[in-house]
Amino acid sequence: MSSSSDLPATPSRISPMSSDAGAAAPRLLAVIRHAASPPHAAMAAEALREAAERAGLDLALDTVEQPVRGRDADAVLLVGDATAEAARHAGRPLIATTIVEAIRRPEPALRAAASLALLPRPAVAAAPAPLAAPAAVEEGGSKTLVAITACPTGIAHTFMAAAALEKAAHQLGYAIKVETQGSVGAKNALTAEEIDAADAVVIAADTGVDRSRFAGKRILLAGTNDALKDGKGLITRALAAEVQGGARAAAGAAGAAQAPGVYKHLMTGVSYMIPLVTAGGLCIALSFAFGIEAFKEPGTLPAALFQIGAQSALALMVPVLAAFIAFSIADRPGLAPGFVGGALAGAVGAGFLGGIAAGFLAGYVARFLRDRLPFPDSLEGLKPVLVIPLLASLVTGLLMIYVLGAPIAAALAWLTEFLRGMGSTNAVILGVLLGAMMAADMGGPVNKAAYAFGVGLLGSETYAPMAAIMAAGMTPPLGIALATVIARSRFSQEERDAGKAAAILGAAFITEGAIPFAAKDPLRVIPSLIAGSAVTGGLVMLFGCTLRAPHGGIFVVGIPGAVGNPLGYLLAILAGTLVTAAAVAVLKRSAPAAVTA
């Protein structure tokens, strides 16, 4: 009996051994899906393969790792979650069974499928062929695409990129459905039928996205900024991309199209960490509203709020950061060692810097073990549930305890003391730098690097940089909105209407509200935005403002204890807004009519 290692990459066919030499054995296709436990799906595939071999049946196995396209089957056996793909096999006899039945009693399932295949069927018009990937997508004609957009915070770029792709597809005459993976989860989720019917897949994301659903499809991986700048180009490149043969191949080829890199892995971790920091910081602020030491009285509401914020939400901040950095690198095998490494980083005092180091270490160790560790095929199912978590956690944990933890903890302690002990001049310089970074690319890598720096410092109880970062991030859209009012003649009616929306986005700390104006006239607008944000960042640090929440915009000012020196904070935002508006108004005076019309 051959093992699963003998299976070729193409569909495995078992030579018919029927005693009736004059009758051709029915050609069967078993489609096996079980997202909850891939090892069980592999066991079901092996059981069906061996049963088909014993019975002399011609069977092809369609699995996530080895999908089958274009199989002309007489009957289709849908196993487990594969029932969701029934529409793909319309026109063929279908029969379903469970994963458990396929493992324990594969022979009855195959006999039922074979019997169904031998039943006479009425003649029908030629049915459309299964969705086999063509050698190349034909030029012209209607095409269908699916897409996913995602960004670290899941608020602005996610939906702006989706809108850009939808607009580009409409202009090209193509149909597209975009799933947005925002801060509240996936919206407009893609179904298996929609994915199967698509000619190509566009993933415009700045964080890690699960691509296993798109095995056998043309996949293009890009960032949200790429979708905003050239949506048509992304769609065209996606339609010309090579077809991926399986989940691992899809991931590999997509990564080759645009390597995720350190930035993308880091932003994935930050995006999952932000809700914990927000909830924890605001709970602590509410506790302090009852008195700065009120939480020390056991059994009181302030004590409960402090326990929720400091001892629960913020305690999970570093482990979650590390776990999802590792997840972005190695997918699910990276989660367990990432959580372990992050927890150890917190235990040894390495804080968010240790969490970042542990996340990358755990991710790359887990990916190495997943891709390079030789293992018998019969025991392959143990790798994701036993071998990788154990070995990767041991390597990550031992290195964090004996090698990396102490130096990183010392570096974090030095950074914390340096920031706390800065004189007013150095503090203002830091605020100016962070403010300028927030406006430099409005949600791009520079902006997110400054933001991640501020969020990480919250875990070490350093709150001033976060105040400068959020205030400076509000200034660009607020300044643009004011400029459309005080310099109306330099903006079209469409821009003046967009300015009203920018004011709301700015108040909510969505810097991306200024992007449409910067994209239309970058040489005049971007320097104005940087100037205003730099002024705001410097003034926030000069006034000694602090902020315990990493998001929420102007609205967190009303929460007791969330903002230190709220009056100075508001004055700094107002000053930066005025500087931005004045600079835009002055520079726009020399703008050609084509820019402002």
List active site positions: 151
CA distance 588 to 591: 5
Angle between the N-to-C axes of helices 351-372 and 317-330, in degrees from 0 to 180, rounded to the nearest 10: 30
Contact between 218 and 239 (Cβ < 8 Å): yes
Q: State the DSSP string of 207-228.
A: S----GGGTTSBEEEE-HHHHH
Contact between 203 and 222 (Cβ < 8 Å): yes
**At a CB cut-off of 8 Å and minimum separation 6, what does 423 contact?**
none
**At a CB cut-off of 8 Å and minimum separation 6, what does 371 contact?**
none
Residue 12: DSSP 8-state: P
Q: Which of 552, 425, 531 is nearest to 472 (CA)?
A: 531
Contact between 434 and 537 (Cβ < 8 Å): yes
C-alpha dihedral (446, 452, 453, 459), degrees to nearest 10: 170
Quickly count helices (H) and strands (E) in the chain: 23, 11
Please measure the distance between the N-terminal and C-terminal CA atoms of the chain and give it in whole angstroms. Answer: 76
CA distance 576 to 476: 8
* Dihedral class, residue 141 (left if φ above 0, else alpha if ψ from -120 to 50, else beta): left
Contact between 253 and 219 (Cβ < 8 Å): yes
- Encoding tokens for residue 478? 């607020």
Contact between 512 and 245 (Cβ < 8 Å): no
Q: Which of 198, 362, 177 is nearest to 269 (CA)?
A: 362
Task: Tally Cβ neighbours within 10 Å of residue 290.
Answer: 18
Contact between 208 and 265 (Cβ < 8 Å): yes
Buried b (16+ CB within 10 A) or exposed e, 129-152: ebbebeeebeeeeebebbbbbbbb
Strand-pair category, 200-205 with 27-33: unpaired
Contact between 484 and 381 (Cβ < 8 Å): no
Q: Which of 479, 480, 478, 457 is nearest to 469 (CA)?
A: 457
Look at the block and give the residue holding tokens 């004059």. 22
